[in-house]
Structure 1
């Protein structure tokens, strides 16, 4: 069996193993095995093929993998707009019932309804914003 064919089999096995483990390392080793297979197709002796594999593996694991890991582990995007208000604390300015009411939320007055329609929240109560529907804050009293 030709050397380059063995390298391609090794690359395929490493590629499948990468799909199963998602480590980012085995995929880079599979690419290095393909590079060694190319060297074998070009007529390089086995020692040169092994050197190509080692150099490509070191370059992949030493350079590409850290960059890829940094891109994968970026912080979640910032919440903006009304999504940023969910989870905030507010103060009721008027009684809040299923018919409506007002709360002070993030320095602004918002129309509000209780998250539980059967609740009636008195004025000057601290509430949590559980959701925003259009321009209405759905609130629940703090314990």
Structure 2
């Protein structure tokens, strides 16, 4: 055991910390693994055990203190790319069959949709462009 350099042990520790990172998906283990790699670099430079442990602690704590709050903030944000029904809201469509408060047909994003007017007293004629304001089931609500 004495003939294995300290930097190798730090790299083994980094690898060992990578296992629970993958199994539990807790990024803190990854930050500790990076701290162990930093300690391995310090050990490779020939610095003492106290400096190695200090490098491990400083890098690990710094990563946890800085990266973790940033990651938590990003995980609470909604994705900026709208998909599904959200991507259709606000788009323009062309009326294929007269659309009024009781129904009609539009061409929206290359597909034919059933539609109805938001205002029940309003009607849109064939060829007219309308804006989709909402989707209810398989029916587009237009203005």
Under a length normalisation based on structure 2, what TM-score does the superposition of the two structures give? 0.62
Does the alignment pair 1:66 with 2:74? Answer: no
Specify the SS of the correspondent of 1:103: strand
1:123-138 alignment to 2 at 5 Å? 129-131=136-138, 137=140
1:79-118 alignment to 2 at 5 Å? 79=82, 80=86, 82-83=88-89, 93-94=101-102, 103-105=116-118
Does the alignment pair 1:46 with 2:53? Answer: no
Cα deviations across residues 10-34 of structure 1 (Å, max 9, x unaligned)? 0001112111111110000000000
From 13, 20, 30, the equivalent of 1:10 is 13
Indicate conservation of the 8 Å contact 2:101/2:118, yes or no: no
Question: Structure 2 CA distance, aligned partners of 1:101 and 1:47?
Answer: 72
From 33, 37, 40, the equivalent of 2:36 is 33
Question: Structure 1 CA distance, aligned partners of 2:6 and 2:64?
Answer: 24
Q: How many residues align?
A: 111
Q: Which residue of 2 aligns with 1:19?
A: 22
Question: Structure 2 CA distance, aligned partners of 1:102 and 1:41?
Answer: 69
Under a length normalisation based on structure 1, what TM-score does the superposition of the two structures give? 0.62
Specify the SS of the correspondent of 1:50: helix
Structure 1 stretches of 4+ moved >4 Å: 78-81, 106-111
Question: For structure 1, which runs of at least 5 residues remain unmatched after alignment?
Answer: 86-91, 112-127, 139-143
Question: For structure 2, which runs of at least 5 residues remain unmatched after alignment?
Answer: 92-99, 105-112, 126-134
Question: Structure 1 CA distance, aligned partners of 2:46 and 2:114?
Answer: 81
